Structure formats: structure tokens, C-alpha cells
Chains A and B, each alone.
Chain A
Amino acid sequence: MRVYFPALSLVKRELLSTLRGVRAFLLLVLFVCAGVLYAWLNWPESDGSFWMASMLSRFMMQTFIILLFGACTLFVPAFSASAIVVERERATYDLLRMTLIRPSGILFAKMLNAVGLFLLILVGLAPVLSVAFFLIGVDPVQMGQALAIIVATTIACAAAGVLSSAMFNRTLFAMGASYVLVIMLMIGPLILVYLASAIAPFFVSVRAVFGSVEYLATVVSPVVTMITLVGTSIGTKGLSGTQILLSLCYQAVFALSCLGVALYFIRRPQRPMKVEDSKPIDNRSILAQRKLTWPFYIIDPLRRKKPIEDGRNAMLVREMRWGLLNRGTTLIRVFYCSFVVYFFSGAVASIDARSFDTMGRWMLIQIVLTIIIAPALMANVFTKEYELRNVDMLRMTLLRPREMILGKLFAGYMSVVPLVAAAVLSCLPLIALGARNWTMLGVGYATLLICVSVSLSLTLTASIFTRRTAAALVLGYSLSVVVFIGLWYVAAALGASDDFAYMLSPVGSYVRSANLSLFGGYAGRGQGVRLEYWFYAMGMWASVAATLIAASIILFTRFRMTDR
């Protein structure tokens, strides 16, 4: 066999190295445990009415499926994006290319590996899922459809990741591109459809347009497909088989085109890493002139940089001057611009009422979005040093662990500044329209900052104790999920008092103190913000963040983390 298909040996090596590690096993165990815990906590009581029980079991399955779907869109792009780029960074890619394995074989092996782990988790969860068949109110067909969509999305995400991995020379860029591609998969065509629908009524009847827009939306956006599929409550019709099929086709086309382009990149002779070879410029007038031709540089990359000043943290200065502002300006710029646009459009969209809740909910959206993005900006700060094999040399300098970690951390904060700024800006239209609850605003932004701190310190810890950016990202997100949702959820399910349960999550405490009604309803309208509760909760979370940082400094010093 192997003689005819040399790619099989690569498949074997890939799968072995992934599955042999403790990590895969731990991840599997973690997911299965979370699944079991979830099922156990939510097991519908049978003494209630039949209707009640079926409602509950439906709700349970819905959450379960949505969580799985979320996990696959969050983790698979990161995991698969490192597939080829890591070989490049370790300089093993040339060796691989020199073997008789065809480019398609490399692609196949990498894909299989990227998809494999997640599918394994799915299989591991199968017993838990199959329990659902004994629950009343869960439609097996609908379950099957949901699972099919999850598998398709996993494959599409993996394809996007592998493509990004084939395109770039650095893990971070590959990961960024991977997430961008996945966002395109999720909402790209959807936006086009909505744009078209805005223009179309001029030509055809409004009714026809809206009908087809809804139909199209469920096809060209896996998120919408998923939400419509599992979100349909009893009584409304779900998705038709054709819609499911079309959605699967859409994802298949996406995956295949990604793989096609990836194949092109693998076949193509490797491009050397692009290195700027121009000399630095000292002349001010030339610099001023360049400013006119390059108006978009934050800092002209060719301007000569000052030496690092005395008494400053060299690590921080390096991260700022050479890391953040120098390279990747382009990528970061694109990223932030889209964010500003996104926040603005979100703000405009949410101006339906000038009520207290609108403001609070809008702040909540900002908080959630920011803590979803923050780990991605932070995850590689230390793994980058491992990947570039710089850790040994850094540790030999007189920089103290404290300086290194705080330098990295502040650089991380600085990279989040544009995000927070975008958030602040996006509130301006709302304020202009009359939503002027200053307490709410102040509390909201303070919460945002504390949530970002918690999220950044979690990711920093993850980045210190893992060697690969992909692993750091996954660990960072997992920790975030535990801290921001997990504890809160478990406590609530175990029947803790609301005040206590909500306090176990920084976001939860905000929701509780602002008396926000999450799902419509009018929970605390007009009651104002419970400032005392908020101070307690935020004080606690701020100290959690500080403790985490202190702990990682101690651990970084204690365990001699080195290049090997």
C-alpha cells in the first residue's frame, strides 16, 4: 500500500503525532466530561408535564449542538492553520517536499489531521448525544441534520485553515487569515445577499425578494442554517431537506475551492520570506515626502528607530517599536478597520429604542466581541519566541521574568487599544441619539477593561506554558470559556443564588449589576445599576487578573522554560 501511496506515511505520522500526545486525549476527555456534565445538570425531570419535559430536552439539545458548532468554528481554524506553516517554521517543509509525497498527498494528510481530532471528539460525544434519542421532543432527523452541518463546517473550517497555512510563512498570519476566511464562510455571501436585497425591490416585488432572501440566507451562511435549524421552536417548520442539502453543497464548494487554491500554493515553488532590503532613512524631508505617498503607515517602516532609552523595559519597547507598529501593520489595519465598520453598523442597527436596556445590551455586545478577539492578539506573544527560538537568548539577558512578562502584557494591552477605541467610538451615535445613561456607560467601559484584563492574562498564561501558537490560542479560548461562562453556568445549574452565580463570571456580574434582561423581557428596567454589587464583583475579577499575572511570573521563573 505504502509504496503506491507515499502520502499514507504522512497521514500516519500526522495522526500519530497528534493523537499520541496527552493533549488530544485531554481535549477528548474534557469535551466528553463537559457533555456529560451538561446532560446531567439539565436532565429533564419527569414529574413535570409532558410538554415541559419535551421543551427542556429540546433546549438541552439545542444548546449542545450550538456549543459544538461554536467549538468547531473557534478551534478548527486555529488548529488547522498551523498544519503547514509549522513545518516551514521548523524548516522541515523542504524535507517533506523532497519526498515522493505529492502535493495532493500532503494536502490530504494535513486535512485529515486537522479534521480528525474534532471528528474524534464528535465520535466520543456520540454516546452522550445518542441519549438524546430517548428524550422526548427531540427530532432525530433534525439532530442528524445538525450533525451533518457540524461535520461540513468542520471540514470547511479545516480547509480554510490549511489554505491559510499553505499561504503564509508565519503561524500568526496564517491564523489571522484562517479566521478571516471562516468569517467569510459564515457571513461573506450573507452580506452580499442582504446588499442585493436592498437594491432588488426596485426591480421586483418586495415580497418575492424577502422570501428568497430568507431562503438564501439559510443556505449561504452556516451560522444562520444552524440557528434556524435548532432554533425552531415546536410548531414552526424547520428547514427543508433541500435547504440542508444546499447548505452542505455551499460548504463543500467553499472547502473544495480552498483546497484547490491550497494545492496551487503547495505546488508552487516556495517563495523566500520577503525581507525589506532598503536602508533606513534619516533625512527628514525624504521622510516627509514618503508620508505623502504612504499616508497609511502608522510609523514609516523605513524611518530609523531610536535606540532603546535607559530605564525602559527593553522587552516592551521591542514589542511596541518592532512588533506591533512595524510588521503586520497592514494586517492589523485591515482587521481594525473592519472592526470599526462592524461596530458602527452594529450601533446603527441597535437603535430601536432609547431605553436603558439598549445601552446596556450594546455595551454587552462590545464586551463579548472584545473578549473574543483579545486572545487572538495575545496568544502568540510568548509562543512566538519559542517558535523563533529566541527564548534561550532572552533568558540569558539581565531582563527579569517580571520585565519580560509585563512587557509582553502591556504590549498586548496596547494591541487591544484600537479595539476598545472602536468600541468607544461606536457608542457616539447612540449617545447622539439620546441614550445618555452615563453611569451605565462608565460601568460598561470599566467592565470592558476588566474583562479584557482577565482575558489577556488568561491568554498570557496559556502562551507562556505552551510552545505553539495554535496550542496557546486553543488553551486561551478554553480557559476563557471556563472563566467567562463555565463557572457561572455550573453554579447556576447547581442551584446557587443568582447573585452568587452571576458573580462567577465577569460578564455575568455586569449583566446582573446592570439588571440586564438578556432575552427580551423587562427584568430590571428602570432600577438603575447596582453599583455596590458591581464594585464587589469587579474588584474580585481585577484581583483575579492580577493574581494570574503574578502567578505566571513566579511559574515562569520557577520552571525554566527554555527552547527545548
Chain B
Amino acid sequence: MAMIEAIKLTKHYGKFVALKDLDLEIEQGDIFGFIGPNGAGKTTTIRILATLLEATSGHATIDGHDVAKEPYEVKKILGFMPDEFGVYDGMRLREYLDFFGAAYKIPQRKRASIIDDVLQLTDLSSKADDFVSAFSRGMKQRCCLAKTLIHDPKVLLLDEPASGLDPRARIEMKELLKTLCSMGKTILISSHILSELGDMCNKIGIIEHGELLAAGGVGEIMERVREVQELRIEVFEGADLAESVLKDAPGISDLERAGDVFQMQSRLGRAELAGLHGRLLDRGVKLLFFEQDKGTLEDVFLSVTKGGI
């Protein structure tokens, strides 16, 4: 059963429809990247999943628990990092985490070591005795992430967690999320930094005007979205042979040759591509390099969304 599941989720703010029949299915161990232009409805979706907002219609479950009917059960297994949040005045980082630890009913004797762990994970150990309200934005972001991890939740909902982080912290965060994922956690992350999501997520969903335009595996969506892709081939031996094969191959156009390097536009799916590869080898071409450019999430994003808020 899916870890996070939403069925026909709809949310109206007065007359304004922020979400329209959104269906979502995220399996355990997935890192699901949630992307969409500003005002698309990402935060709205995440807040409904986090039990903070009531959907107008439709329903959603986290690990089988309905978010509207069993919020307490959901909260136990859910770590939520909001896009905007404040921090308490006059609390030191360790005290702040201790408060949330206690609020998540973690026994006191376990709390200290858990806090040490999350501080280590978020690289804040040296700041444990500093006041949270004096933190920079990025440090507050890390502090909130530490708070989110404190009760070892199975499912993480992260709303733009990387905004405000420095490049090193971003890379570390990416590693952290991958580690968490390998521990079997399910992560839903919304972000505008697509290059990052691209090599971290195994699934993505693209939302615009409250509608899910595409969802699924990253490669799958890329393929579906981009019909024409760049194919680059470099041969070690048999360039002329290769040229003749490529010229006749269906779905290949705009072939350009520069010595042993070929560049062309391809409309081939994965299977056809493998076929072409095999044919070249069969004819005795020795290949050095054979790559169809996957494109970037940015390209996908631009071609799927229409723009306009």
C-alpha cells in the first residue's frame, strides 16, 4: 500500500480553487519531488497532508491513516517542515529541540542523545548553546530540519527546505535525504531548485493551478515530455559504417558528423534506443560513447507548465 496517498483532493479558498481533484501516490522509500510555479498549490497540498488544513473534498492517507480522521496517528509518523516558520525568543537551540522532543513525547532519558544525533546530522552541534532567534536564515532552516527529524518520523513532508541554505549545506542536505531514504523513510519535498531535485528524487509530480500535470518516475516523465532528444555517439572504429546505419535509422534526424563524433535529434524511446545500439554493434562498429541526453528537469518543467500565475 502507498505510504502517502491522496484521492481527488480539492481545496477551495472561498471561491478560489487552489486544488482540483489531485491524486497522489507515493510508495515507501520514495523521494518525491513536488514542483510547480508559485501559487500552484504545493504548500496547500502539503498542509492538507500534514493535517493542518482541511480539504474541501477528497481524502488523503498517510501509512493508511486518514489525515482528517486520525490526525494524532498521522502526526506520530510525520515530520513536517513548513515553508515559513518562526522561532521562539530566548530559547537556546538545545532547549528548543528539547521542547519539541518533549512535545513529541520522547522520554527524557532518550532525548539528549537524539538531540545530539540530529544536531550532528544538521551540522549544528557547535551552536547547541546559542539562541535560536539570533540564527541566520539558513541556520534557522537547519534548526527546523533538526526539529522535524527529532521524533524519527517515517514520512517527511518538506516544504522548500533548501531555500536559504548555502551550497555546501545543500549538498549535505541532499546526502542527508538520500541517507534517510535508504533508511526506508518516505520523503515528499517541494522545491524550486530543480537541478537538485533531478538527481535526488526518484519520482516527481508537476502541479500547476491546482492540477497535477504529470507524476511518476523521473526518467519516465522526461521521456514522455520530451519527444525529441539529443543523441550523441562517438565511435572508435567504423565511423562510416555507423553513418550509414544512422542515416537509415527511423526516428533520427538532423544528423551531424564531426570526425568520429555524431550528433543528431532522436525520437526514440528507450527500447528503440537499445535496438539501435545493438544494430551498431552487430555491424561491427566499435562504440566509445552512446548517450541520449536526458534533458533537465528545467526543460520538463518549462514544457509542462504554461506559466502565468
Whether A397 lies near B52 (C-beta < 8 A) is no
Whether B102 lies near A560 (C-beta < 8 A) is no
In whole angstroms, how far apart are the Cα atoms of A318 and B98 in the complex? Answer: 10
Residues of A within 8 A of B103 (CB): 314-315, 394, 397-399
Report whether over half of chain A's contact residues are helix, strand or loop; otherwise say mixed.
loop
Whether B102 lies near A317 (C-beta < 8 A) is yes
In whole angstroms, how far apart are the Cα atoms of A560 and B84 in the complex? Answer: 18
Residues of A within 8 A of B90 (CB): 276, 301, 322, 326-327
Question: Which partner residue on chain B sits nearest A393 by CB separation?
Answer: B85
Residues of B within 8 A of A563 (CB): 82, 84
Q: A307-B98, A308-B98, A399-B103 are in contact. Are A389 and B130 (CB under 8 A)?
A: no
* A530 contacts chain B at the CB level, 8 A cutoff: no
* B305 contacts chain A at the CB level, 8 A cutoff: no
**B interface footprint on A292-329 (CB within 8 Å = 1, 0 otherwise):** 00000000010001011110101101100010001100
Question: Which partner residue on chain A sits nearest B133 by CB separation?
Answer: A275
Residues of A within 8 A of B92 (CB): 280
* B14 contacts chain A at the CB level, 8 A cutoff: no
* B91 contacts chain A at the CB level, 8 A cutoff: yes
Whether B147 lies near A393 (C-beta < 8 A) is yes
* B249 contacts chain A at the CB level, 8 A cutoff: no
Q: A314-B102, A398-B76, A399-B103 are in contact. Are A390 and B131 (CB under 8 A)?
A: no
Whether A308 lies near B108 (C-beta < 8 A) is yes
In whole angstroms, how far apart are the Cα atoms of A170 and B101 in the complex? Answer: 27
Q: A280-B92, A305-B95, A388-B87 are in contact. Are A560 and B75 (CB under 8 A)?
A: no
**B interface footprint on A361-375 (CB within 8 Å = 1, 0 otherwise):** 000000000000000
Whether A562 lies near B53 (C-beta < 8 A) is yes
Whether B75 lies near A392 (C-beta < 8 A) is no
Smallest Cβ distance from B43 to chain A, in angstroms?
9
Whether B98 lies near A275 (C-beta < 8 A) is no
In whole angstroms, how far apart are the Cα atoms of A515 and B55 in the complex? Answer: 57
Residues of A within 8 A of B75 (CB): 396-398
Whether B131 lies near A277 (C-beta < 8 A) is yes
Whether A388 lies near B88 (C-beta < 8 A) is yes
**B interface footprint on A267-298 (CB within 8 Å = 1, 0 otherwise):** 00000010111011000000000000000000
* B54 contacts chain A at the CB level, 8 A cutoff: yes
* A354 contacts chain B at the CB level, 8 A cutoff: no
* A395 contacts chain B at the CB level, 8 A cutoff: yes
Whether B147 lies near A398 (C-beta < 8 A) is no
Smallest Cβ distance from A563 to chain B, in angstroms?
7
Residues of A within 8 A of B112 (CB): 307
Whether B86 lies near A388 (C-beta < 8 A) is yes
Whether A310 lies near B133 (C-beta < 8 A) is no
* B60 contacts chain A at the CB level, 8 A cutoff: no
Out of B76, B82, B88, B100, name the residue touching A392 (CB < 8 Å). Answer: B82
In whole angstroms, how far apart are the Cα atoms of A414 and B159 in the complex? Answer: 37
In whole angstroms, how far apart are the Cα atoms of A280 and B75 in the complex? Answer: 33
* B47 contacts chain A at the CB level, 8 A cutoff: yes
Residues of A within 8 A of B47 (CB): 392, 562
Whether B134 lies near A327 (C-beta < 8 A) is no
Whether A398 lies near B105 (C-beta < 8 A) is yes
**A interface footprint on B64-84 (CB within 8 Å = 1, 0 otherwise):** 000000001001101010101
Q: A393-B147, A396-B80, A562-B53 are in contact. Are A277 and B130 (CB under 8 A)?
A: yes
Residues of A within 8 A of B104 (CB): 397-398
Question: Which partner residue on chain B sits nearest A309 by CB separation?
Answer: B108
* B236 contacts chain A at the CB level, 8 A cutoff: no
Smallest Cβ distance from A463 to chain B, in angstroms?
17
* B111 contacts chain A at the CB level, 8 A cutoff: yes
* B248 contacts chain A at the CB level, 8 A cutoff: no
In whole angstroms, how far apart are the Cα atoms of A239 and B87 in the complex? Answer: 54
* B272 contacts chain A at the CB level, 8 A cutoff: no
Q: Which of A275, A280, A301, A396 has the most CB of B within 10 A?
A: A396
**A interface footprint on B129-163 (CB within 8 Å = 1, 0 otherwise):** 11101100000000010010001000000000000
Question: Which partner residue on chain B sits nearest A280 by CB separation?
Answer: B129
Q: A307-B112, A396-B52 are in contact. Are A277 and B134 (CB under 8 A)?
A: yes
Smallest Cβ distance from A179 to chain B, in angstroms?
21
Out of B72, B84, B95, name the residue touching A322 (CB < 8 Å). Answer: B95
Smallest Cβ distance from A86 to chain B, in angstroms?
14
Smallest Cβ distance from B108 to chain A, in angstroms?
5
Residues of A within 8 A of B134 (CB): 275, 277
In whole angstroms, how far apart are the Cα atoms of A309 and B82 in the complex? Answer: 27
Question: Which partner residue on chain A sits nearest B129 by CB separation?
Answer: A279
Whether A398 lies near B72 (C-beta < 8 A) is yes
Residues of A within 8 A of B53 (CB): 560, 562
* B289 contacts chain A at the CB level, 8 A cutoff: no
* B107 contacts chain A at the CB level, 8 A cutoff: yes
Residues of B within 8 A of A276 (CB): 90, 131
Residues of B within 8 A of A309 (CB): 108
Residues of B within 8 A of A317 (CB): 99, 102
Whether A318 lies near B99 (C-beta < 8 A) is yes
* B239 contacts chain A at the CB level, 8 A cutoff: no
Residues of A within 8 A of B89 (CB): 170, 327, 388
In whole angstroms, how far apart are the Cα atoms of A309 and B134 in the complex? Answer: 26
Interface residues of B in 107-135 (CB under 8 A from A): 107-108, 111-112, 129-131, 133-134
* B50 contacts chain A at the CB level, 8 A cutoff: yes
Smallest Cβ distance from B138 to chain A, in angstroms?
17
Residues of B within 8 A of A315 (CB): 103
In whole angstroms, how far apart are the Cα atoms of A399 and B102 in the complex? Answer: 9
Whether B108 lies near A390 (C-beta < 8 A) is no
Question: Which partner residue on chain B sits nearest A562 by CB separation?
Answer: B52
Smallest Cβ distance from B189 to chain A, in angstroms?
17
Residues of B within 8 A of A322 (CB): 88, 90-91, 95, 99
Question: Which partner residue on chain A sits nearest B81 by CB separation?
Answer: A393
Residues of A within 8 A of B102 (CB): 307-308, 312, 314, 317
Whether A307 lies near B80 (C-beta < 8 A) is no
Whether A395 lies near B129 (C-beta < 8 A) is no
Residues of A within 8 A of B88 (CB): 318, 322, 388, 390
Residues of B within 8 A of A308 (CB): 98-99, 101-102, 108
Q: Which of B52, B78, B107, B147 has the most CB of A within 10 A?
A: B52
Interface residues of A in 390-414 (CB under 8 A from B): 390, 392-400
Question: Which partner residue on chain A sits nearest B131 by CB separation?
Answer: A275
Question: Which partner residue on chain A sits nearest B147 by CB separation?
Answer: A393
Question: Which partner residue on chain B sits nearest A397 by CB separation?
Answer: B103
In whole angstroms, how far apart are the Cα atoms of A318 and B92 in the complex? Answer: 12
Q: Which of B54, B75, B89, B111 has the most CB of A within 10 A?
A: B89
Residues of B within 8 A of A562 (CB): 47, 52-53
Smallest Cβ distance from B109 to chain A, in angstroms?
8
B residues near A (Cβ < 8 Å) are 47, 50-54, 72, 75-76, 78, 80, 82, 84-92, 95, 98-105, 107-108, 111-112, 129-131, 133-134, 144, 147, 151
CB<8 Å pairs between A and B, sample of 5: A308-B98, A315-B103, A322-B90, A393-B82, A396-B75
In the A-B complex, the 9 residue pairs with the smallest Cβ-Cβ separation, listed nearest first, are A389-B86, A397-B103, A388-B86, A308-B102, A314-B102, A275-B134, A327-B90, A314-B103, A310-B108
A-B contact sample (8 more), CB < 8 A, given A397-B100, A398-B104: A307-B102, A308-B108, A393-B82, A393-B100, A393-B144, A395-B51, A560-B54, A562-B52
